[in-house]
Chain A
């Protein structure tokens, strides 16, 4: 099946720093999604990407759909304490069963130090 490699697994940063994380796939994806999950809660959709090369922002968050369609990255600028959580990428590939199923990365645990 499809595999997603998300890195880094965890990050410890100072408040105010910028953050970057990425996901790479073993096959072509036609949709990339980025979610944030806080402890004891479900993931919340941050950004959805649908076209190769697409660059989309949501406040201090920016995500891009890679040109090769096998990768995506998420940047967070000027981090604040409430950015703490686990960030997941998810992709939907051409060959993902019914073409509706998502494959999830293993997550990036972000800790923001005051």
Chain B
């Protein structure tokens, strides 16, 4: 089945540790996105990528890093510089046409130990 796969479903981070969240899509979508979701808030954009080897900062990029070495993969690293990393992280993708809606994975919940 075509879709967006995020892993792991749950992730725990120790103080001072970097962790990487995986996002893979087999939809042949051009663009991929990472969002952070906190309770009672809308989704906030962390990073996005339109094409391989290129990515742009979103509204809350500080403390995060990404890479886009393959079209189907867009991993997100939550670094130790992110002081409040506990959240639900969502990956999305779409075709890069003007009106193409974004489709989401099932998310990764990151917690601090």
Contacts and interface: CB of A to CB of B under 8 A. Distances in A.
A89 B14 CA distance: 34
B102 interface: yes
A100 B42 contact: no
In which size bucket is the chain B interface? 20 to 34
Interface in B54-94: 56, 58-59, 90, 92
Nearest to B35: A104
Given A31-B99, A99-B98, A100-B31, A41 B107 contact: yes
A42 B42 contact: no
A98 interface: yes
Interface of B: 4, 6, 31, 35, 40-45, 48, 50, 56, 58-59, 90, 92, 96, 98-99, 101-107, 109
26 contacts: A6-B42, A9-B40, A31-B101, A33-B101, A40-B107, A42-B4, A42-B90, A42-B92, A42-B104, A43-B104, A48-B99, A50-B99, A90-B43, A90-B102, A98-B50, A98-B56, A100-B50, A100-B96, A100-B98, A101-B58, A102-B43, A102-B45, A104-B42, A104-B44, A105-B42, A107-B42
